[in-house]
Structure 1
Amino acid sequence: MLKRITFLVIAIVLAKPIYDFGSQWLGAAQQFLKNNEVTIQDATSDVLSTVNSAKDNIVSTAADTLVTMDVDLPDSVQTLEELEDSFYYYLSRWETNFEIHYVGSTSDIENLIQTAVSQAASRDHYILGHLADRKIEYEYNSFDAKIRVNQTYLTNLAQEQIVNEKVAGILATVSPDEMTDFQKVKFVNDYIVKSTAYSTETTASAHSAYAVLQEHKGVCQGYALLALKMLQGLGVETQYVVGEVYTGGHAWNLVKVDGKWYHLDTTWNDPTPDRQNVVRYEYFLIDDAKIGLDHTWIQADYPEASNSNFDFMAQIDHAYEQDGLIYYSNVDDNNILYRMDVSTGDSTRLTDSRAQFIVGFGDWLYFSNYSNGAYLSKIRTDGTDESILYHDEVNNLFVEDGYLYFSTDDGLKKMEL
């Protein structure tokens, strides 16, 4: 007897709404300096290692091998659990064509296969999120079935090995044993947001973690899958969540911090159009009620997130962090420059100036002063000695190799610190 059945698993097309979060990267500025004895140099032709120091700070290291079942499969399987093990064995190795010999009652073979595939895929949400089209054919008699599978993925084994190498390199730059759960989640959120521009224009699948890592572009599915991979590598319990927003399908994460579940949407923490080095925290460690204002999901399928312990993070924009303190533009107070102690959530206003594109070097903060023409300004980290360095509109500040880089209408400029 020959019977054929086909199952298709279609990758969810996930989209992100567009927010207008400010200016794009502009080019160079005219030399004009007032009130400070500093030298502004043209930096348009500088070969920079990165606009964001985290972006390509990948340590070349031999990555761990893919996490797979390190066992040899038997020639045939007899139970649902063994059938599930076989499917997981092949899926975890990103195999595209394989055959499983099932020896047992085939009276409900279709449901048996569906259950085994579903449970195998659910063992690892990272694999689950990368599954694409699947075709299953089988031939059987009363107590014997040959199951042939053609499975496609958003990536392949070679690409996943690159993901493992790069994730291992990124995580090697921190010391997980010395970090709190909060610090681990913030590190991952900041890395992904700073290094990625939301885009569907990728060579690899924009829905994959590979595209986000390799091309620094992708969509929410790729953001969430990379966050899952990195957080699990740091020892943070994490789930991959599929739901909807007003534009359609969407993906994000649930993370467990200090024993409590919270939502993390790295995609919606990333301003669009992309703003270099700017991270938002409106969707950072929030509860069901808050994210439920604009996200929907099948809540029964996921843990409950009922704590709002980190809601204070939502006020933070254009953040610069140093020694456990975050210097930021306070969205709840007209984007005035503030300082926050992340261990307590206590905030202090540093000045009456509206600040964006905040960076730091030593005891000084540098920012675009939107209370004074978006001019380049500096202030000490204790809020004293504020002054204007450059009387022209600047944006997209970053520090590299002892220089402060910034953009104005004339191009990229730099100032030695």
Structure 2
Amino acid sequence: MTETRVISDILQRAADGGRITPEEALLLYTEAPLHPLGEAADAVRRRRYPDNVVTYLIDRNINYTNVCVTACKFCAFYRAPKHAEGWTHDTEEILRRCAEAVELGATQVMLQGGHHPQYGVEYYENLFGAVKKAFPQLVIHSIGPSEILHMAKVSAVSIEDAIKRIKAAGLDSIAGAGAEMLPERPRKAIAPLKESGARWLEVMEVAHTLGVESTATMMMGTGETAAERIEHLRMIRDVQDRTKGFRSFIPWTYQPENNHLKGRTQATGLEYLRLVAVARLFFETVPHLQASWLTTGKDIGQLSLHMGVDDLGSIMLEENVISSAGARHRSNLHELIGLIRTADRIPAQRDTLYNRLAVHWTPQDDPKDERVVSHFSSIALPGGGAGRSLPLIDAK
């Protein structure tokens, strides 16, 4: 058969719910015409979610420290121990930020920070316990395998014990943080001090078996090849086949400012859209696919809704890590809902588990709170903006 026929047959099989191989995924990613690729991915979305609903979330990313010993080359957020610009927020400050998030309708907080040399399991037990006690309604979707490995090392306990303890303290769900690129060559190039991709996945698998689900992510644009991007997907799918613990896949693009990579390479919008579509076709066992409008921009975010995406992500009331590397895209609740509706989809607010909290079937159903604006970045302020309230910006 000709390559065109081969591609067409793969697209049809994937659109019908069949499994494709990594080799077939690479062929689609590099050679498939864009429109048929997107149509096949959207067919998968329509079969999974025939009511045409696209979801969004309201949450706040709260950073407890920027002190980190891992020194990833793409990261503009961290500061080395004893650096003059290093800071750590106390529990009172974190709870204050949680209270602001609750006031604005957030259902989730993502507590993230650097690998502080003194922060073991006990620190996270106290942090999660305090948040859960003060705000039991908030879901703690936080940290990632890298932080779990670090805290276990500091406290000299096993990965299993660390996960059990922080789960008991209040951790509800693990973020896909720290995945970046899982294949060995690109991972060593951008994060030589971080655990291997196989080890990252091992921690996720342990967490899944202990009843803690997670998301999976990928950072594009740091010099990895097309084949390495597909290998990243393959590594995630292998774990998902065994655990079914990944709720969603969230690809995002490297941001080039204020870090050691200095923007030497970046992923284009077209590369991103193609990867999103291939991911929807490849991950037949991962329920949800989320776009990253924060890193790609709202135009690409909206286009991704035609490439198999069923979730537009979050109105993040605060975000510092990616913003410090140059992500400048902001939105508000009305605008995000508008992006979904003008893509001929029905917007719905969800929670962490993708339960729909409110479906906006018509514009009359839309929420009216104009204070819900994304997002406040405090990284440039002394002490990480400690004590500063969320700036409430008129959505108009």
Could you say whether these structures have the same fold, taking a TM-score greater than 0.5 normalized by the shorter chain as the test? no
* TM-score normalised by length of structure 2: 0.30
Tell me which structure has the larger Cα radius of gyration: 1
Structure whose residues are more often helix by fraction: 2
* TM-score normalised by length of structure 1: 0.29
